[in-house]
Amino acid sequence: MPIKPIDLQTLFLQMNKVGKEQAAVKDGAVLQQSIQSAVQAKKREDEVRSVQKPQADEGAGRIGDRESKSPAGEESEEKRKDRDSGEPEEPEVVKDPDLGRRIDIQG
């Protein structure tokens, strides 16, 4: 079956559309990949800037009392009373009354 000139004329008119479609398909994959990489970069940046919850309490065990010489499980009565009183102890603040009153000008 030979190709007739009218068939070639129809094919030549459609060549422009076919070329544009092929270019869009080719550029579509590149565009999609660049969009994915931008999304991943933004996600990574958000993870870096956000506060992360610790994965597990590895190595974060309870520290025992070094002063306690009684067997494990036994508490002294004083410690129980302190714990039961419920009043948190305020740290003692010591202030020097002469602080800031004398200036050394001799160097």
Q: Give the tens place of pLDDT for each residue, 35-86.
A: 999 999 999 999 888 887 777 665 555 666 565 555 555 556 666 665 556 5
Return the number of other C-beta atoms located less than 10 Å from residue 96's C-beta.
7
CB 96 within 8 A of CB 90: no
d(CA 87, CA 90): 9
Q: Give the tens place of pLDDT for each residue, 16-32.
A: 898 899 998 888 888 99
Q: With the CA atoms of 55, 59, 65 and 66 taken in that order, what torsion angle do they form, in degrees rounded to the nearest 10?
A: -150
